[in-house]
Amino acid sequence: MPYLAEAILFLAPFALYALWLRFNPGRAVATHVIALAVAGLVVAIGGAIFYGLSRGRSPTTLYVPPRIEADGPARPVPPARAP
């Protein structure tokens, strides 16, 4: 049940496209719609690549989780270098 919203959001575009095909039989998808879809995919993939390459940490940096102090709050720990 907790993933129901995510599943609905994922499947909604496919359902809408199926409805469009059902109510518009024999009508081809316009060229500008296909061009916009391809442009959207290019932007999404480019953004994912840019995000992956622009991470601020060095590949040799080890993740050190925050530690909880005796008085309660979590304190950040500076990243450690790999040996």
- Given a contact cutoff of 8 angstroms between Cβ atoms, the answer to whether 66 and 75 are in contact is yes
Between CA 79 and CA 76 the distance in angstroms is: 9
CA 58 from centroid of its chain's CA atoms:
22
Question: How confident is the model at residue 41, as a pLDDT?
Answer: 96
Confidence band, pLDDT 50/70/90 cuts, at residue 11: very high
User: What are the tens digits of pLDDT across the range 53-72?
Assistant: 887 767 777 777 777 767 77
Confidence band, pLDDT 50/70/90 cuts, at residue 46: very high
- Given a contact cutoff of 8 angstroms between Cβ atoms, the answer to whether 60 and 79 are in contact is no
- The owner of tokens 């959207």 is 40
pTM for the complete prediction?
A: 0.50
- Backbone phi and psi for residue 16, each to the nearest 5 degrees, phi listed first: -65, -40
The rounded mean pLDDT for the chain is 83
